[in-house]
Chain A
Amino acid sequence: MRPTTEDELAGIIRAATGPLRITGGGTRGLLGEGEPLETGGLTGIVLYEPAALTLVVRAGTPLAEVEAALAAEGQRLPFEPGDMGALLGRNGASTIGGVVATNASGPRRVQAGACRDALIGVRFVDGRGTLIRNGGRVMKNVTGYDLVKLLAGSRGSLGVLTEVAFKLQPIPPASATLILPGLSPARAVAAMSAALGSPYDVTGAAHLPGIGTLIRLEGLAASVGYRVGRLLVALAPYGQAVVERDADAAAALWRQVRDAAPFHGRAGDVWRISVRPSDGPEVAARLGGEVVMDWGGGLIWALYPAGMDARAPLAGIAGHATRVRGGSRDVPALPPEPAAVAALTAGLRAQFDPRAIFASGR
């Protein structure tokens, strides 16, 4: 089924007797049971005001199309969403609705916030077949409850997004990436913490096996030059950094971090683990295998033996671990929640999807 209007979509949901499986580009691993419900008929930019840094777009619009339209005006989505297709071995085209449904956020999340932070409005049809609007198209809005945040990362379990609105960012004229080679995970996190805790407005801090520890600066040209100089001094205890000033080369490195490129096409499950940055090295040590660290050590992508539970060795470390690739009947992909939180979550799902027709995303 491929509705082209919100009314049609609402009708399909109201008439549904069994589970529906919402699919955008099918690149983000939101699989499961049920009749496919494609969002690809709900496409197009509804409103783009570059001077107000705002974009309203229908949820089925391909991410690449959104990014191209923004780039034409020298702007971008602040949160640097990744492309999971290669990691998961899928070849669809990621949609903007899928980005929102998974709260997909890349390296710039440490400075510019996550997808949920840039998202300023949603329209969605819930499991009752009701169209619901929340937020809007302005950057500051505290009118009523923030269901916008609730929908970001809801993995299609509350309803089908039909339209999403973002605040945008101008693409800065200059950028530079410092690369510190050869650090252990613990030293890498210490270096990244020093950079992120400096006044130099770091927009990315990651550790890429075989390449090094990366620190990104963006802004006006003279300002980037100044901050590179200061950081070289501040990070001297961690070795002599190489400065990558070529924009394309640097962008390629950050894409590798963003998309967990070292694990593409390799055997094993892939886990995505969010912890406080100083716990990053301990996570890496306990998991034993290969890791990519982003968000200054707060986000760990780990390659782990197929079917094994990566949560077990991490017991006692606060945070959460999600399996993004691979499968196992015994180990759930999504982290279990404490009973009281799970009860609230279940309560919300029951309110928005009382017939559990979107249960496959859970």
Chain B
Amino acid sequence: MQMPAPDARILGRKPAIVARLREVLPADAVIDDPVELRAYECDALSAYRCSPLAAILPRSTAEVAAALKICAAEGVKVVPRGSGTSLAGGAMPSQDSVVLGVARMNRVLEVDHADRIMKVEAGRTNLSVTGAIEQDGFFYAPDPSSQLACAIAGNIAMNSGGAHCLKYGVTTNNLLGVTLVTMAGEVLQIGGAHLDAPGLDLLGVICGSEGQLGVVTEATLRILARPEGARPVLIGFESSEVAGACVADIIRAGVLPVAIEFMDRPCIRATEAFAHPGYPDCEALLIIEVEGAPAEIDEQLALIRTIAGRHSPVEIRESRSEEESRRIWLGRKSAFGAMGQINDYMCLDGTIPVSALPQVLRRIGELSAQYGLEVANVFHAGDGNMHPLILYNANAPGQLDLCERLGAEILTLCVEVGGCLTGEHGVGIEKRDLMGVQFGAADLDAQMRVKDVFDPAWLLNPAKVFPLAASAARRGA
């Protein structure tokens, strides 16, 4: 993975730049000590690391604006950071950049149950957003598995999804407004507690722009009343084709589960060995969760059982208690951990049309054999968002490279069948060089023209998302 050569002029001006930042920020908000900077050298894509010039941790929108004005004047690149859980290298800095972390901006600014909104500072973690309202029976719907750590800022930048997005949508569907500070240090209010934009939907394009259009400091979020209850059913199948057909039938029947999760045999076996959830040993397994009052749940699960019954399942296990629900989810929730026990792994994130599932799984099996690397599949089956986990040994020379090449082949396959490179993790540096597989030159240029408007000097997180060759002229490289 290639990164642009650092700007020697900026590296040389480090003391002056740090001094200027200290003029507008409290002393403890500017970090330039090399040891302390290590905390900012990577995100959850930890195979790639680079220490930044400095890191700043402002406490207010005004401080963010003041710091960005200095960076803009100095021509210093800025890499926004929430909690650093990106799996795509979105928050990885370059040597000549300043990391701007919003973690200290974590207050709840407003909760309004009648209008079903809340306003928070963007550094607040996803789980603590719901934590602030759950005593009143409300929740914030997007729930990435990293929700204990990840920040709303990163969720907005990546347009993150979660286990329940089949019913509730992803971040962009639950975001009503942001306070955005542009690279020029201008503070903009986009959207608010009302619905929909009067003019162009700038909020829609800011969400998912991977920290390249501005720094989000505050967010207005849609909150929802917690359903009365939820219960899963586990269904095992002899083949993944049949499991896929069952998913299609459920969706066609008009039931809308909150989650439909899929696991294949390698994944089932690994989680069974790791967490002992008591899963059947079969080719494919679905976990389907529905919500509502007990009678509503019974009604939906009865319909799902009837449909599944037509697909000769090897097992149908409906949860009847909290404990049974916990056991059904146990394996799925520990899937990544189980894989981590066996090996290093790389988690892919492509989306495919659900109808292509059997074909794609078959082809992944062939590629896995060809590369000699095992692949386990966990999958949000309702929306086609796949998470193939490629197992490899990071200490064996050449294995990371081999794994990345297999990953690229699988993602290319996702695009070929009508899907996309990334369903929720983002492009970052990880999928940057594959963008040409999904987009033509004009498509990429159209996106880069949006960045030209928000950040004409291309200082915000510039070496991400777009293939370096495609963005070179704009980055002044």
Task: List chain A positions with a Cβ less than 8 A from chain B.
Answer: 49-54, 74, 103, 105, 109, 113-114, 116-117, 126, 130-134, 136-150, 152-154, 157-158, 169-173, 190, 193, 196-199, 201, 219-220, 222-223, 226-227, 230, 274-278, 295, 298-299, 318-320, 322, 334-335, 337-338, 340-341, 344-345, 347-349, 351-352
Contacts and interface: CB of A to CB of B under 8 A. Distances in A.
Quick one: which of A103, A141, A347 has the most chain B CB within 10 A? Answer: A141
A340 B351 contact: no
Given A109-B195, A147-B205, A322-B198, A193 B300 contact: no
A273 to B, nearest CB: 9
Contacts of B190: 341
Nearest to B454: A344
A318 B446 contact: no
A132 B420 contact: no
Given A142-B159, A149-B172, A352 B446 contact: yes
Quick one: which of A143, A147, A344, A347 has the most chain B CB within 10 A? Answer: A143
B353 A126 contact: no
B283 to A, nearest CB: 21
B460 to A, nearest CB: 13
A220 B255 contact: yes
Contact of B385 (A140, A148, A199, A337): A140
B194 A318 contact: yes
Contacts of A199: 137, 225-228
B322 interface: no
A228 B138 CA distance: 21
B170 A140 contact: yes
26 contacts: A52-B354, A103-B197, A114-B195, A126-B446, A140-B351, A140-B380, A143-B438, A144-B439, A144-B444, A145-B209, A146-B159, A150-B200, A153-B196, A158-B200, A190-B114, A197-B138, A197-B225, A199-B137, A201-B227, A223-B292, A274-B196, A298-B195, A318-B194, A319-B192, A341-B202, A344-B202
Contact of B194 (A319, A345, A351): A319
Contact of A150 (B188, B195, B204, B300): B204
Nearest to B166: A139
A51 B248 contact: yes
A146 B440 CA distance: 15
Interface of B: 112-117, 137-138, 158-159, 161, 165, 169-170, 172-173, 186, 188-190, 192-205, 207-209, 225-228, 248-249, 251-256, 292-293, 295-296, 299-300, 303, 351-355, 380, 383-385, 418-427, 431, 435, 438-440, 442-447, 449-454, 465
Contacts of B169: 113, 117
A138 B114 contact: no
Contacts of B207: 146, 149
A140 B161 contact: yes
Contacts of A277: 114-116
Contacts of B300: 220, 223
A114 B204 CA distance: 12
Given A130-B445, A139-B384, 19 more contacts: A52-B248, A117-B169, A117-B172, A133-B443, A138-B352, A142-B159, A142-B424, A144-B427, A144-B438, A145-B451, A147-B447, A173-B254, A230-B293, A276-B115, A276-B193, A278-B115, A319-B192, A340-B188, A347-B453
Contacts of B418: 136-138
Contacts of A136: 418-420, 438
A297 to B, nearest CB: 9
* 8 pairs of A and B residues whose beta carbons are closest in the complex: A149-B204, A320-B198, A51-B248, A170-B254, A140-B423, A347-B453, A276-B193, A319-B194
Interface of A is mostly: mixed
A51 B299 contact: no
A32 to B, nearest CB: 16
Contacts of A126: 446
A31 to B, nearest CB: 18
Contacts of B384: 52, 138-140
A316 to B, nearest CB: 14
A198 B201 contact: no
Given A105-B196, A140-B351, A153 B423 contact: no
Given A193-B115, A222-B299, A226-B295, A348 B186 contact: no
